[in-house]
Amino acid sequence: MSPVIEQGSRVTLHFSLQLEDGSVVDATPDQQPASLVIGDGNLPPGFEQQLLGLAAGDERTVRIPPEKAFGMPNPNNIQRLPKGRFGDDVALEEGLVLSFTDAADGELPGVICRINEQTVEVDFNHPLAGHHLVFNVQIVAVQTP
């Protein structure tokens, strides 16, 4: 009997992640499967839950709501920063993704959502926050812990 996915399993898989309109957000190429350990934080818990109990050769397509994926957008994660904080070498435009440093010296991506004369609004929400996602997965191999 083939091992099934449980907490701590090393899983090799092919996947695609799509928005509800069919736009592909992320996917593994056909020749290059991804590998991860269930519970290591690489996938949100709502995705990992869908993998539990599957074995090599299994396929599944599921719709994952925002609450179980990347959450809902938080208005507190939109910050107004002084325009002068950005160097003259940065061509500011809406939709531009920039890297910022958080309080713990970690890297934090932010998307410019509005530019005014004196301020720039930056959205630090995950880009997929608020989206229902379609998760297609094909399990290649499972190693139990």
What are the tens digits of pLDDT across the range 109-126? 899 999 999 999 999 999
Strand, coil or helix: 81: strand
Both 101 and 55 in a single domain? no
Whether the pLDDT of residue 9 is over 90: the answer is yes
Both 65 and 114 in a single domain? no
CATH number for the domain harbouring residue 115: 2.40.10.330
List the domain range (segments joined by +) for residue 48: 10-70+128-143
Question: pLDDT tens-digit profile of 70-104?
Answer: 999 999 999 999 998 888 888 899 999 999 888 88
Both 93 and 23 in a single domain? no
Question: Rounded to the nearest 5°, which phi and psi values hold at 36?
Answer: -155, 165
Residue 139 is predicted with a pLDDT of 97
How many Å is the Cα radius of gyration of the chain?
A: 19
Q: Indicate the length of the chain as a whole number.
A: 145
Answer whether 0.85 is exceeded by the pTM.
no
